[in-house]
Amino acid sequence: MRHLTPRAAISGIGELKPVRKTENVATMDLLMRVAAEAIADAGITADEIDGLLVAPQVGETPQHVPATVAEYFGMQPTMSNMVDLGGASGPGMIWRAAAAIAAGQCETVLCVIGNHRNPVPPKSPNRNPAREFDTPFGASGANTSYALLMQAHMAAYGCTPEDYAQIAAGARGNAQFNPMAIFYGQPASVEEVLASPMVASPLHLFEIVMPVAGADAVIVTTADRAAKGPHRPVHLLGAGEKITHRAVSQAPSLTSGPLKPSIARALSQAGLSIEDIDFLSLYDCYTIMVAATIEDAGLCAPGQFGAWLRDNGGMGHEARKPINTHGGQLGFGQPDLAGGMTHVVEVVRQIRGTAPGRQMSRCDTALITGNGATMSEAVALVLGGAL
Amino acid sequence: MTDLSQLGVAGPIYEPLNQPFWEAAAQGVLKIQHCGACDRHVFYPRPICPHCWADALDWVAVSGRGRLKSYSEIWKPGHPGWIPVAPYLVGLVELDEGPTLLSHILAQDNHVQIGDRLTLAPTQIGGRVLPCFRKDPS
Ligand SMILES: [Zn+2]
């Protein structure tokens, strides 16, 4: 066994006095107070924290817990996660923090756990800020958030509905080469995308993923062990992560997201530029997400994704830089959280050379992007067929 | 068209930290927090300032004036309680004091543009008065 190198150290602590009961106090409130203690104890300021590990919040925030806490704290970490190991979560955070530091993803990690003990359970199990201050006004669900992002992007750069619709049409086109895809046998033209019902302007139905059931799995091992396996190994060459906010109202930018620094970090770790990437496996919950990612990756200037896609020859496996050859989630379907993993699985197929009917002529490097909440949780990976 | 006050929709859950916001809203006033240490306004409510981490937040009434940062006309609401009033507008309102909040936007024929000036328009939605915004007459 190898030692953990470089070794990490604990530099600050905080602890609230236990009480039998709290009175209508949110867990988030307790977390901020104890975090302030630990930050002061470490003799640092909050803006030095670039990693954040949290635990599940029973009865308060069911999903997107790290982003909800980070936004509340005014932090934008480059590594964040929820450690869900029951009573082992606290110690589990410590080695994960050290591993993230060793991986070059962050330098100072806040590990914070707490829970209220209010006598009367809240009516809703979901009473985080996005629920408290967005939903009462008629905004609920991701469609509204991405519609707001798309409207702002459209207005800032004068992009046309056709520019965005070609992403949905391209995804549907790719789905025709994947018999597994939910839209296999159902292509859609740009005109058909724009003729589909308006859901939340300017988003049409075909620009939104279809929810489906499904599952994906991946095995990660050492390069040495992978080399002994039956397939061409697919190496992780670089990674980047960034969390900027949770609710769309708190987004630092409506036209560019945390994938921009995440992609930059992943490429830098890999020692590659975006032009070196053969295959783009880009998270596509909505058309606007792919548009913003093409621009955040530096493939073109902001607002130019439409022209770039046309120059690229579309998104198919014969395009200059193929995009989402499995159909993307817009064509394959979104099996809930597994939707993001479909982009990983397709990259493995393309780099192995086992994407039947849609194999790229050459695929040695790929960029994978993952996106969560309101273009606010981002992960970028660079994978390659050689180290 | 159904009146907004008749909607059966989810409202806020009151707790000590956010109560000043909703109590003021019920009176038709927009109150948010202000940090005495870094002189910045804070929205939504926090126990400590998320900008400078000072324990120096107070509640202040603000102008209720702002600018439309983005909007969407909602045709298929995420919550079924809103279906009777669809299509309706939601938008991101950048207050003149700095913070951005999401709100319900009232405008003739739902006609708005990014950059429009907005004014607080307290409106009864379901059983409560919420701080909605109205497009200024141009
Ligand atoms: Zn402050």
Domains of chain A: 27-127 (3.40.47.10), 155-384 (3.40.47.10)
Residue partners of A155: CB distance under 8 A and separation at least 6: B70, B113, B114
Q: What percent of chain A has pLDDT over 70?
A: 97
Return d(Cα A351, Cα A283) in angstroms, integer. Answer: 18
Residues 84-123 of A with CB under 8 A from B: 122-123
Q: Is A153 in contact with A291 (CB distance < 8 Å)?
A: yes
Percent of chain A at pLDDT exceeding 90 = 76
- Nearest chain B Cα to A141, which residue? B78
Contacting residues of A for B11, CB less than 8 Å apart: 136
Res. A157: pLDDT tops 80 = yes
**Contact yes or no for A133 and B76 at CB 8 A:** no
**Mean pLDDT computed over A193-220:** 94
> In chain B, whose CA is at the least distance from the CA of A46?
B53
ipTM: 0.97
Report the gap between the CA of A124 and the closest CA in chain B (Å): 8
- In A228-287, the residues whose Cβ lies within 8 Å of chain B are 247-250, 254
Number of domains chain B contains:
1
Please say whether the beta carbons of A213 and A364 come within 8 A. no
CB spacing of B51 vs A74 below 8 angstroms: yes
CA–CA separation, A10 and A90 (whole Å): 13
Residue A134 pLDDT greater than 60, yes or no: yes
- Is residue A172 within 8 Å of A331, Cβ to Cβ? yes
Q: Assess contact for B71 and A103: CB atoms under 8 A.
A: no
pLDDT value, residue B13: 77
Find the residue in B nearest to A200 (Cα).
Answer: B74
DSSP A124: S
Which of A59-73, A123-137, B38-52, B76-90 bottoms out in mean pLDDT, i.e. has the lowest?
A123-137
Answer whether B76's CB lies under 8 Å from B86's CB: yes
Q: Are A285 and A150 in contact (CB under 8 A)?
A: no
Chain A residues with beta carbon closer than 8 angstroms to that of B30? none
- Give the pLDDT band of residue A9 (cuts 50, 70, 90): confident
A133 CB-near residues (< 8 Å, 6+ apart): A247, A249, B12, B44, B101, B102
What is residue B124's predicted lDDT score, i.e. its pLDDT? 95
Report the interhelical angle of A287-296 vs A259-270 (nearest 10°).
50
Is there a contact between A140 and B100 if contact means CB atoms under 8 Å apart?
no
Q: How far is the CA of B40 from the centre of ligand 1 (A)?
A: 6
Whether the model clears a pTM of 0.90, i.e. scores above it, the answer is yes
Give the helix/strand (H/E) hosting B65.
strand B65-74
Given a cut of 60, is residue A122 above it in pLDDT? Answer: no
A139, B16: Cβ pair inside 8 Å? Answer: no
| Domain membership of residue B60 as a residue range | 4-135
Query: Nearest residue of A to residue B44 by CA position?
Result: A129
Q: Which residues of chain B, if any, have pLDDT below 70?
A: 1-2
| Least CB–CB distance from A136: residue in B15, B75, B125 | B125
| Tokens, residue A214 | 């499904």
pLDDT for A4: 60
Q: A272-330: per-residue pLDDT in tens?
A: 999 999 999 999 999 999 999 999 999 999 999 999 999 999 999 999 999 999 999 99
Using CB atoms, which residue from A46, A73, A199 is nearest to B76?
Answer: A199
Q: How far apart are CA B86 and CA A140, in angstroms?
A: 13
Provide CB contacts within 8 A for A218, sequence distance 6+.
A341, A344, A345, A348
Element containing residue A372 per DSSP (H, E): strand A365-372
**pLDDT of A24:** 83
Max mean pLDDT among A225-229, A234-238, B18-22, B71-75 falls in B71-75
Q: Which of A129, A138, A152 sits opposite B88 (nearest CB)?
A: A138
Asked if pLDDT for residue A6 goes beyond 70, the answer is no
CA atoms of A170 and A187, how far apart (whole Å):
9
DSSP type of residue A49: -
List chain B residues with CB under 8 Å of A25.
15-17
Query: Using CB atoms within 10 A of its CB, is residue A167 exposed (0-12), middle (13-18) or buried (19+)?
Result: buried
Residues A138, A77: contact at Cβ < 8 Å?
Answer: no
Q: A269 and A356 in contact (C-beta within 8 Å)?
A: no
Buried b (16+ CB within 10 A) or exposed e, B11-36: ebbebebbebbbebbeeeebbbbbbe
List the shell of residues around ion ligand 1, using CB closer than 5 Å: B 35, 37-38, 49, 51-52, 54
B42 C-alpha to center of ligand 1: Å?
8
**Cα(B58) to centroid(ligand 1), Å:** 11
Q: What is the pLDDT of residue A1?
A: 53
Of A129, A148, A198, the CB nearest to B92: A148
Place of tokens 């990612």: A293
pLDDT attached to residue A192 = 98
Q: Please check whether residue A151 touches B, CB under 8 A.
A: yes
More confident position, B110 or A229: B110
User: Which position has the higher pLDDT, A132 or B110?
Assistant: B110
Please name the residue of chain B whose CA is at the shortest distance from the CA of residue A126. B13
Count Cβ–Cβ pairs < 8 Å, chain A vs chain B. Answer: 131
pLDDT bracket for residue A10 (50, 70, 90)? confident
B interface test, pick of A68, A124, A132, A154 with most B CB neighbours within 10 Å: A132
Query: What integer pLDDT is reported at residue A78 of this predicted model?
Result: 97
Instruction: Find the closest chain A residue to B91 by CA distance.
Output: A148
Closest among A117, A71, A78, A34 to A239, alpha carbons compared: A78
Q: Which residues pair with B119 in a beta bridge?
A: B65, B134
Q: Which residue in B34, B88, B93 sits closest to B60, CA to CA?
A: B34
The nearest CA of chain B is from the CA of A129 a distance in Å of 7
Contact assessment for residue A315 and residue A176, using Cβ atoms and an 8 Å cutoff: no
Residue B11 has its nearest CB partner, among A45, A74, A136, at: A136
User: What is the pLDDT at residue A220?
Assistant: 85
The Cα-based distances of A310 to A170, A242, A327 in angstroms read 11, 30, 18
What the block records as the tokens of A288 is: 């606007």
Copy the structure tokens of residue A232.
């061409």
Nearest to B13 among A124, A144, A198 (CB): A124
Separation between Cα atoms, residue A318 and residue A311, nearest integer Å: 13
Q: What are phi and psi of B46, to 5 degrees?
A: -130, 160
Looking at residues A77-94, what average pLDDT do you find?
Answer: 89
pLDDT at A376: 96
CA atoms within 13 A of residue B99's CA, in its CB half-sphere: 25
| Distance in angstroms between the alpha carbons of the first and the last residue of chain A | 22
CA–CA separation, A372 vs B2, rounded Å? 35
Res A200: pLDDT: 98
